[in-house]
Amino acid sequence: MLKTTDKIIFLGIFLLLLFLAFNRHSKDQLFTYHTELWADKAGYHMYLPALFYYDFKASNYPENFGSKIGNGFRFNLKEDKVISKYPIGVAVLQAPFFTIGHFIDQFKERGACEKSYAGYSWTQHKMVAVSTVFYFVLGLLFLFKTLVRNNARKRVYILLFLLIFGSNVYFYITRDAGLSHAYSFFTFSLFLYAFERLVNTSKSIRTLVILLFFIASLGCLIRPINVVFYALSALIYIIPNWTNLVQRKSEIGSAVLIALPLALLLPILQLCYYKYAHGSYLAYSYTDESFIYADTPKFARVWFAPGNGLLLYSPFYLLSLIGMVYMVKSDLKKAVTYGVLFMGVSYLYAAWWTPGLGCGYGHRGFIELLPFFALPAMVTLKKIRAKWLVNTLVVLALGYIGFLLNFQYRYDGCWYGNGYWDWAEIGRIMAWW
């Protein structure tokens, strides 16, 4: 149950992050690589302007428009089609904010540039930032509601602070707002919340099962690879609670029969787009990208490389890994399932053709799973009790968080070092030499 104080705090978190996101882009010119609708971000967002302004016809767009948005999507001029390799889920969640932006634009004067590029006005750029922060904070709220059931509020708030500023998620809700990760974070937080309720209550089983299937369907519409992540993360609750779930199999089974058809409604949108764009309801839009390192996964690059390494830029995951070790004695099944989740996600990215996922700050592929990794991180916080150790860790944590925030604001968004392992590039970014 949320207290009035909690509501005020979360409103404050939303307003603070929104201010920081706006401030991050306050001096950016539209249609430049720092903005909210550029490259991948424009590719996720494309469906909304294409539907409401351009009738999904390439010929209706301004000339040379691709270069204006960093070629986030492409035009098939021969067939008069607009082609994006990115799935439709982010646009579905952005739709309410896009609609608000449309009406705001109707009531304010717009410059000639904005009139020429309907759907890509200054207002719509800002709506991308608003939607990103909104869904992240909403996900943070569901994570709070999950954690506070078994933990002191003060400790939960400390964990949330470390999650925001001790991981690279801050970069992706301010500097790179509009990418899929904050939206996926929201779906995984809600997925976790629903699963926690399902295994700990005998009420509202049908509603919770329907919610689980629906949110998983939406999450897979945001990032198709999430289907693997949902399966792995679900094991964390299914394996330790198998006996309990089997005893309720009739109730859960009947709920699944209702939930499954409803969950299959959302993917119809994606299939219809594939039919339009590629001539087939089943298509693989990432045609030239695959798991080329499946036999030689690049784990070290994913975890430790100065170019987008996970642990270097997101020390929050160290808390999670330490918590998994603590859990070996107290709850071996959960410790193993968390280990499987971490290693499974690591392997998928280590096997991908670009293990660091291209431009970005730290490894962004783990962001959506932060809600699940927050649980073992909480175990670590509960185990730290010695006052001298707490004080030492607080000083170290604040110092490192300060370094990371400073680095983020100096970082241009892409790693320009001589390969992933160019440690000297960190010094150049910080202007140490």
User: What single-letter amino acid sits at 254?
Assistant: S
Whether 98 is in a domain gets the answer no
Tokens for 93? 């969640």
pTM of the model: 0.94
Whether 116 has a pLDDT exceeding 70, the answer reads no
pLDDT band at 385 (very low <50, low <70, confident <90, very high): confident
Q: Tally helices (H) and strands (E) across the chain.
A: 22, 2
Whether 235 is in a domain gets the answer yes
Q: What is the mean pLDDT of residues 29-33?
A: 88
Tens-place pLDDT, residues 156-200: 999 999 999 999 999 999 999 999 999 999 999 999 999 999 888
Per DSSP bridges, beta strands 81-83 and 74-76 are: antiparallel
Whether 84 is in a domain gets the answer no
What is the reported pLDDT for 248?
83
What is the reported pLDDT for 433?
57
Whether 107 is in a domain gets the answer no
Q: What is the mean pLDDT of residues 98-120?
A: 76
Q: What is the mean pLDDT of residues 269-286?
A: 87
Whether 242 has a pLDDT exceeding 90, the answer reads no
Give every CB contact of residue 43 below 8 A, 6+ residues apart in sequence: 72, 73, 84, 85, 86
3-state secondary structure at position 306: coil
Whether 285 has a pLDDT exceeding 80, the answer reads no
How many Cα neighbours within 13 Å face the side chain of 413? 15
DSSP assignment of 260-276 equals HHHHTTTHHHHHHHHHH
pLDDT band at 17 (very low <50, low <70, confident <90, very high): very high
Tens-place pLDDT, residues 308-349: 999 999 999 999 999 999 999 888 988 999 999 999 999 999
Whether 29 is in a domain gets the answer no
Secondary element (H or E) of residue 67: helix 65-68
**What angle is formed at CA 153 by the lines to CA 20 and CA 211, rounded to 5 degrees?**
80
Q: What is the mean pLDDT of the chain?
A: 91
What is the reported pLDDT for 111?
46
Question: Which residue has 């952005």 as its token pair?
Answer: 94
Whether 78 is in a domain gets the answer no
Q: How far apart are CA 177 and CA 175, in angstroms?
A: 6
Whether 115 has a pLDDT exceeding 70, the answer reads no
Q: How far apart are CA 362 and CA 312, in angstroms?
A: 7
Range of the domain at 181: 4-14+126-429
pLDDT band at 387 (very low <50, low <70, confident <90, very high): confident
Contact 10, 156 (CB under 8 A): no
Whether 20 is in a domain gets the answer no
Secondary element (H or E) of residue 75: strand 74-76
Whether 247 is in a domain gets the answer yes
Secondary element (H or E) of residue 167: none
Q: What is the mean pLDDT of residues 209-235?
A: 93
Q: How far apart are CA 369 and CA 186, in angstroms?
A: 10
Q: How far apart are CA 131 and CA 415, in angstroms?
A: 27
Write down the H helix ranges in 223-331. Answer: 226-238, 242-247, 249-263, 267-278, 299-304, 310-313, 316-330
Split into its structural domains, the chain has a count of 1
